Structure 1
Amino acid sequence: MEGRMASDDERRAANRAVLRRAIAAIGTGDSAALAGLYTDDYVLDLPYSDPPKRLEGMAEVMEHVAPQLGTFVFTLSLTDLHDCVDPDLLVAEYTSDGHVSTTGRPYRNTYIALWRFRDGRICGVREFSNPMIAAEALTPGDEQAHGHATGRTGTVAGENR
């Protein structure tokens, strides 16, 4: 591709690969790997969180996300990936399956998100999930009395175009 502009299909393919690496890094709690995949001015928009959040810039995003990577221990699976007319926009569907380390309660959520890319890096994500599932998992319950595995893995289960 040196000396020429990438075609829309090439950009989509490259962006899909970056998204897959991000899903894997989130699933393994690898904040160092995550930082290299995003632009410095990355925006994370969580309109369904309680309260809704719009985090701007990697410093603010990592300040919010890094502690959660140790609290929410899960497998993150990409279930569908949809191309858009804009090669720098992908719609991703994914699920989490795990538990909260502080309560031992299960955490299983379903997400859909708009992922935006610029120059081969993620510049924005607008993610929708059920905040009640996270709130319930964070609430101490009987599960604390039982032992839970703490492994993490990130997977790409399947996808459609």
Structure 2
Amino acid sequence: MLRSFNQRAFNERTPMSATSREVVEQMLRAGREMDVETVVALMAPDGCIEWPYRPPGVPGRLQGRAEIHRHLSQAGNFVRFTEYRDLVLHETADPEVVIVEYDALGTLVATGAPFRQTVIAVFRVREGQVRSYRDYINPLPLMEARASLARADRPGA
């Protein structure tokens, strides 16, 4: 169940007048810090997160705050991101759309092994809330990380 958060206090920090770029910057920071509550609060109530390219077992689409919260809370302990490198935000002719590209660096929580993920994401932000977040990750690093964890869990591996 979605834990309650103080929407009024959040709105004071993230006013409806925040630009799309500012909202995306907040979303990226919250994602890197694994701050699920802020990610969910930045989403529109019926907003969605999509992963068009993903490894098996990762849903293609999450719709609504409750579903997003549930998934991110359960999936949050796989990789701990430490930095986003070579971050570029592209503001588009459509003021609602921001395209982001970066390399996400971190470690696998279970083993401490280094992890690097290349990301291109497209955000649509309206009235200070993310309506859609389409995350075009490279699925290969996640697939390799999962495989390495599976090998480590096997006796005699």
Aligned to 1:64: 71
Q: Which of 93, 99, 111 does residue 103 from structure 1 map onto?
A: 111
- The number of residue pairs the alignment matches comes to 131
**Does the 8 Å CA contact 1:26/1:69 hold for their aligned counterparts?**
no
Q: Which runs of 5+ in 1 are unaligned?
A: 1-10, 143-161
Q: Which runs of 4+ in 1 moved over 6 A?
A: none
**1:120 matched to which residue of 2?**
128
| Structure 2 residue 137 is matched with structure 1 residue 129 | yes
Superposed, 1:3-82 pairs within 5 Å as 14-51=19-56, 53-77=60-84, 79-82=87-90
Which runs of no fewer than 5 residues in structure 2 stay unpaired? Answer: 1-16, 153-157
Distance (whole Å) between structure 2 residues aligned to residue 108 and residue 132 of structure 1:
10
**C-alpha separation between the residues in 1 aligned to 2:76 and 2:32?**
8
Report the 3-state secondary structure (helix = DSSP H, G, I; strand = E; otherwise coil) of the residue aligned with 2:120: strand
TM-superposed CA distance for 1:95, in Å, is 1.7
CA contact (8 A) 1:40 1:58 kept: yes
1:90 CA displacement = 0.6
- Structure 2 distance, partners of 1:102, 1:28, is 18
1:137-156 Cα shifts (integer Å, max 9, x gaps) = 222267xxxxxxxxxxxxxx
Calculate the TM-score normalised by the size of structure 1.
0.73
Distance (whole Å) between structure 1 residues aligned to residue 29 and residue 73 of structure 2: 15
> Which residue number corresponds to residue 87 of structure 1?
95
TM-score (norm 2): 0.75
Q: Return 68-77 or 124-133, whichever deviates more.
A: 68-77
Q: Please say if residues 23 and 76 of structure 1, whose CA atoms lie closer than 8 Å, have aligned partners that are also in contact.
A: no
Aligned partners of 1:29 and 1:70 also within 8 Å: no
Q: Which has the higher contact order (CA 8 A, sep 6+)?
A: 1
Tell me how far apart the structure 2 counterparts of residues 15 and 71 of structure 1 sit (CA, whole Å): 29
Partner secondary structure for residue 117 of structure 2: strand
**RMSD of the TM alignment (CA)?**
1.9
Deviation at 1:80, TM superposition (A): 0.5
Q: How far 1:55 sits from its partner (Å)?
A: 1.4
Q: Percent identity?
A: 31
Task: State the distance in 1 between where 2:62 and 2:81 align.
Answer: 23
Cα offsets for 1:9-43 (capped at 9, x unmatched): xx7x7111111111111111111121221111111
Distance between the aligned counterparts of 2:116 and 2:75, measured in 1?
15
